[in-house]
Amino acid sequence: MFSLRNLLAPRRPMRSFALIDAQSICRALRHSAQVPQGSGWIEVQHSCPSWLNRPLPAGVRTAQVTPCLRVQQTLAA
């Protein structure tokens, strides 16, 4: 059953992340509301267990917006 707290403070949507090593091989997958701690994690559109120990398929990475561009866009508006 939904509580009032869940109605007023909805959870952040879950995002998909892949851990990529130095050879661009997928070593781990994770669903989280935040970027996982550590280096090598990239956000992907969705995750698939068949990617493990293989290079990521082309086009699954999400477009990353750098903080500098985000600040410039808000200042321009």
Q: What is the pLDDT of residues 23-44, one digit of tens each?
A: 989 999 999 988 899 889 999 9
Domains of the chain by residue range: 11-76
Q: Which residues of the chain have pLDDT under 50?
A: 65-66, 68-72
Which pLDDT value is given to residue 77?
Answer: 55
The per-residue b/e assignment along 16-37, b for 16 or more CB within 10 angstroms, e otherwise, is: bbbbbeeeeebeebeeeeeeee
pLDDT of residue 28: 94
Write down the pLDDT at residue 20. Answer: 93
